[in-house]
Amino acid sequence: MFSEVDVQHFSAAHADGAFVLDVREPHEYVSGHVPGALLVPVSQIDGAVHELPSYRPIYVICQSGNRSRAAARHLAELGRHAVSVIGGTSGWVGAGRPVVRGARANLA
């Protein structure tokens, strides 16, 4: 299943403990990412799909929403419930939401 949500809806899901997958490149991720986001560049999704949850939605985020849309569609084809975040990390930052800098996934 594939769907899209805006940053406001994603923010609510994130506050409730959503699983977040950042599909950008490592240099983009370390410059600022959503707290708790797991980095798997879009080119590596096939090799990492077994590490992703199959029992709950995966919120897929990139910089603007283009790569996340394609990645979410692909994840849906692989049997995952994927949700692309419209506006991506840029929208998240623009809404004043917190970001983590560096390679840490789970620290705010």
Active-site residue list = 62
Number of Cβ within a 10 Å radius of residue 44? 11
- Whether the Cβ atoms of residue 48 and residue 56 lie closer than 8 Å to each other: no
What counts of helices (H) and strands (E) characterise the chain? 5, 5
